[in-house]
Structure 1
Amino acid sequence: MDAQDHRTAESLAPTELVDSPPVLMAPRSDGIEVVWSVTAPSRGWVEWLPGSIDPDTARAVERRVVDLDRYGFVPQGSRVIRVRIDGWDPGADYTIRTVTEAAADGHRQASDWKQVRTLDPSADSTSFVVWNDTHQRSETLQRLDDASPQADFWVWNGDICNNWNDPEEIAPTVLAPAGRDVTAGRPLSFVWGNHDVRGPWAYRLSEVIATPDDRPYYALRSGPVAAIFLNTGEDKPDDHPTFGGRPAFEQLRRVQADWLAEQITRPGFVDAPYRVVFCHLPLRWVDEPVLTEADYAGGDWDHYSRVSRDLWDPHLRAWGAQVVISGHTHRSTWIPADDDFPYAQLTGGGPEGWAATWIEGDADAERFTLIARRLDGSVLHEASFTPAGSVPSIR
């Protein structure tokens, strides 16, 4: 659609129709998905420009518009609007903004213009940032946002909430955490944690979260790093009475095992210099008791996901996974690869300011480095890997 038609946004009513920034999710080499929250039933679309064009001086005719969902509708919603953009070039810069139109009276609100860069699988280098276990702690979220640099992608590695007992908490928790524009300069790759699947409204989280293939496990290639994102589910069996019969993670783990077996053979993954897995529950831990039904009934829980590892480990070994990055334990821990497990395990810290961490990954042709930092910037763990599964160096 041409941006000169009735969906341009030159005159905006003062009513606040939008209550989040445009959130950049599911980065890919050929596009991204833009998600934002609204306060009333609305239609919405994304205007975009190539990075070489200044939006302040661009003519309306130069703006491209994405205003179609997969079912033939203008994207719309009563609380959240999502627009998927396809057909972009790898490693290219773009500028986007959202335009929202109230269904009731047609008044409009446009966001500020926002910069985004697509992933580039052929780039010589890449960077990413990881947060985990933020649990709706506003001060921690603000400090993480302040401390973390821009990156090619940002992994929010699970447990963004406590439980979803109120559906009205979902959109602001994801799209405007602590009132911040958290995807400015770092598009979001989301990982489900065990708390993210708890509560009677947890099934609605997927309405707000975008992933490349619209499922809670996926993969991406950015520069020399191939990354696989997996969903470890809950930290207790599906039939635990506190879950109310809602989970079916035993099945989902098996589905992911089948998908993983195929994914690791794909171009860009079978030959990747660096191979990283993101999942919320660790696949390894410092001690690994096998809990019984009585243990779970007494309030104990899995500190690592043995049930996931049993299914996925053969494929991770075959792929040559180098490191698994997780959260869950609220304890920053490094477990090196050993004779039993050829991949290392790194976990981030907890939601309190004194325990919170952020993890930075940087990779080029010679080395892939991971650094886990406290909020004050001090280093907790640092590890580096050479290409193709070489033994890491640890500091």
Structure 2
Amino acid sequence: MKITIILHRPNRQSTKIRKNGKKASAKQHYFCKNCFWLLVLCMLCTQCMRVTHGPYLCDMTADGVTVVWTTGKKGTGRVELMANEADTATRICYAATAGHIRAARTLHHVRINGLQPGATYRYRVCSRRTDPIMHTLSYGRTAASSNFSFTTHAQEAKDISFLILNDIHSRAKFMNDLCRAVNFKALDFVCFNGDMWEWMMNRRTIFKDCMDVAVELFATETPLVFNRGNHETRGPYAEFLPDYFPTRTGQVYGMFSAGNVCFLTLDCGEDKEDSHREYFGLAAFDTYREEEAAWLKQCVETEEFKTAAARVVFLHIPPTASGGHGSKHLEKILMPILNKANIDIMFAGHNHRYSYHEPNERATFPIVVNGNNTYVLCTIKNGSMEINITGQNPSGNHIIIKSIAK
């Protein structure tokens, strides 16, 4: 909230003041009473609690979702949930850790479990300001968002539609223009497949460079799947970025299902050696990727993964691309697992240009590499997958239709 105040000084009275032992004429300025009380009111307004960013949805499943938002002052957070338009009963879900309601934060996230698959819910977020005073706690005003709605993922077979963005590199206005014609309400989710940001400087960077536009376009009602790219590991605020996209497991990588389609979100780490000077001694991605590979090996053996009608992978850096250390290490430790896992397709980015790779000796599944000026709109329906690569320049558009295994 930006407040501009124009003050006037109606009373300018001549007086005698002493300067260096001598008398001199000057003007003494007074604020009028109206201006004084306006200043007091503005000072009080800056102390009010309000929702500054969000809310937005992430980590959606058939029976749950996480809601995230920020406030200008520290306080508690809760989500008020109603099942449908006719439902007057409100379920309250608090931002809490191990039973303790968090009351000293400006970043709030609430995990809501126990929902019905494929069901629509209404919600709003509320935060109440808190001020600790000695051994007690003082409460201030409560801020509330507008009312929104979402629909949980279905468990049974259904048509699945999702959109993928990658390599926007903090071009928030471009993203808004690119996606202006998209009907986000028809989508099951939107995937940020890496390098949506250029450099993680602070909280303002997260919202100004990307998330404010995402919230305006879709994220209050269509869930976001965040899949980290190599640029999102850079900058003084990079270590805090996962806090804005919390997961049930606490890991950046993971697996989820929508309908009878299973999705893997794999974290690429950095694209250069850990010892590269660009990382200032803060990179340990080789060990991290090996831990991720150990998790992946167990994940592809689960019943949820094996019985899915289709299996889709999101990974920012193409593992078979001729490139730096990151892609080579990904190919070495992840591809032996993925090549035996009956993957139907992989979506990648990183190269800033579109390419399509048919299955070959290095990858038993096709890989779609999206450019940095287009989005991918994918629909899985009746045993086939239709992929539309769309940008503002029609010459860069592509359509891929592929049969998927049953």
**TM-score of the superposed pair, with normalisation by structure 1:** 0.83
Partner of 2:265: 229
- Using the alignment, how far apart are the partners of 2:198 and 2:338 within structure 1? 30
1:99 corresponds to 2:126: yes
Structure 2 CA distance for aligned equivalents of residues 154 and 378 of structure 1:
24
Tell whether the 8 Å contact from 1:80 to 1:171 is kept in structure 2 after alignment. Answer: no
Alignment match, 2:80? 47
Shift of 1:78: 3.3
* Offset of residue 214 of structure 1: 2.1
In 2 relative to 1, CA 98–174 (structure 1 residues): closer, same or farther, beyond 3 Å? farther
Alignment of 1:368-383 (within 5 A): 368-375=385-392, 380-383=397-400
Partner of 2:135 in structure 1? none
Q: Percent identity?
A: 26
Helix, strand or coil: the match of 2:296?
helix
Find 2:285's aligned residue among 220, 227, 249.
249
Q: How far apart are residue 381 of structure 1 and its match? A: 2.5
Deviations 1:134-165 (A, max 9, x none): 21112212123423332111101111211123
Structure 2 unmatched ranges of 5 or more: 1-44, 132-138
Pair 1:337–1:387, CA change in 2 (3 A): same
User: How has the CA–CA distance of structure 1 residues 44 and 172 changed in structure 2, closer, same or farther, with 3 Å as cutoff?
Assistant: farther
The 3-state SS of whatever aligns with 2:399 is strand
2:51 corresponding residue in structure 1: 18
Deviates more, 1:185-194 or 1:374-383: 374-383
Q: Which has the higher strand share?
A: 2
**How far 1:188 moved relative to its partner?**
0.4
Return 174-183 or 364-373, whichever deviates more: 174-183
**Residues paired across the two proteins, number:** 352
Q: Secondary structure at the match of 1:40?
A: strand
Residue 340 of structure 1 deviates from its aligned partner by 3.7
Q: Comparing 209-218 with 377-386, which one deviates more in the overlay?
A: 377-386
Contact kept? 1:125, 1:362, Cα under 8 Å = yes
Summarize deviations over 1:204-226 as a string: whole Å, max 9, x none.
Answer: 11221122422110011112321
Taking a change above 3 Å as real, the CA distance of residues 380 and 181 of structure 1, as seen in their structure-2 partners, is closer
3-state SS in 2 of match to 1:180: helix
Alpha-carbon distance change, 109 to 159 in structure 1, aligned in 2, over 3 angstroms: same
Q: Which residue of 1 aligns with 2:91?
A: 64
Larger radius of gyration: 2
Unaligned runs of 5+ in 1: 1-12, 290-300, 351-355, 390-395
Higher deviation after alignment, 19-28 or 334-343: 334-343
- What is the root-mean-square deviation in Å for CA atoms of aligned residues? 2.2
Deviation, 1:180, is 2.4
Q: Distance in 2 between matches of 1:244 and 1:264?
A: 35
* TM-score, structure 2 as length reference: 0.81
**How far did residue 93 of structure 1 move?**
0.8
Q: How does 1:250-265 map to 2 (within 5 A)?
A: 250-265=286-301
SS in 1 for 2:306: coil
Any conservation in 1 of the 2:129–2:140 contact (CA below 8 Å)? yes
Q: Which shows bigger deviation, 249-258 or 165-174?
A: 165-174
Work out whether residues 194 and 349 of structure 2, in 8 Å CA contact, stay in contact via their aligned partners in 1. yes
Offset of residue 377 of structure 1: 6.6
Q: Which residue of 2 aligns with 1:386?
A: 403
CA contact (8 A) 2:229 2:317 kept: yes
Pairwise mapping of residues 1-395 of structure 1 onto structure 2 (< 5 A)? 15=48, 17-51=50-84, 53-54=85-86, 59=88, 62-104=89-131, 105-150=139-184, 151-173=187-209, 175-177=211-213, 180-285=216-321, 288=322, 301=324, 305-350=327-372, 356-375=373-392, 380-388=397-405
Residues 42, 147 of structure 1: alpha-carbon distance in 2 compared, 3 angstrom cutoff:
same
Residue 283 of structure 1, CA deviation:
1.6
Q: What displacement does 1:168 show?
A: 3.8
**CA 1:75 to 1:33, structure 2 compared with 1: closer, same or farther past 3 Å?**
farther
CA shift for structure 1 position 339: 3.9
Cα pair 1:133 1:159 within 8 Å, conserved: yes
The superposition leaves residues 95-140 of structure 1 with CA deviations (integer Å, 9 ceiling, x where unpaired) of 1110111113521111111111111132322111101112111221
Q: 2: distance between equivalents of 1:190 and 1:155? A: 6
Q: Is the 8 A contact 1:165 1:200 kept in 2?
A: yes
Contact 2:162/2:191 (CA < 8 Å) preserved in 1?
A: yes
Answer whether contact 1:358 1:375 (CA < 8 A) is retained. no
> 1:187 & 1:40 partners in 2: Cα distance?
26
CA distance in 2, matches of 1:228, 1:360: 17
Report if the CA contact (8 A) 1:153-1:189 is conserved: yes
Separation (CA, whole Å) in 2 of partners of 1:116 and 1:229: 22
CA drift at 1:173: 4.2
Residue by residue, what CA displacement relative to the aligned partner does 1:328-380 show, whole Å, maximum 9, x if unpaired?
11112211212442111112222xxxxx1111111123212222111367762
SS at match of 2:219: coil
Distance 1:144 1:184, change over 3 A: farther
The aligned residue for residue 297 of structure 1 is none
